[in-house]
Amino acid sequence: MPGVDGLDFLVFLHGRFPTVPVRIITAFGGHATEQEALARGAATYLEKPFRLDDLVIVLRRLLRESTPP
């Protein structure tokens, strides 16, 4: 995202819409970035390239969390 740091944008979104889960998918990162994203409020974090199985796990968790019992 040109001109915008993704982690700062995450903080902005989380501040405005605290109940909306934010999933981070990035080509630039690493363990430290993942930890920072989670600390700033990301619900999940995937680093590209990712395995399709990992995306399926994240999406199933999202559906499970957003579906009333």
Range of the structural domain that residue 50 is part of: 6-66
Residue 10 lies inside a defined structural domain of this protein: yes
Residue 34 lies inside a defined structural domain of this protein: yes
Q: For 68, left (φ over 0), alpha (ψ -120 to 50), or beta?
A: beta
Residue 21 lies inside a defined structural domain of this protein: yes
Q: How far apart (Å, rounded) are the C-alpha atoms in residues 65 and 4?
A: 29
Q: One digit per residue, pLDDT tens: the chain, 69 residues?
A: 678 788 999 999 989 998 888 888 988 888 999 999 999 989 889 999 999 999 899 888 888 887 776
pLDDT for res 28: 83
> What's the number of domains the chain is made of?
1
Residue 19 lies inside a defined structural domain of this protein: yes
pTM of the model: 0.74
Residue 11 lies inside a defined structural domain of this protein: yes
What is the domain-level CATH number for residue 11?
A: 3.40.50.2300
Closest CA to 44 of 59, 27, 28, 66: 59
Check: CB of residue 13 under 8 Å from CB of residue 22: yes
Residue 58 lies inside a defined structural domain of this protein: yes
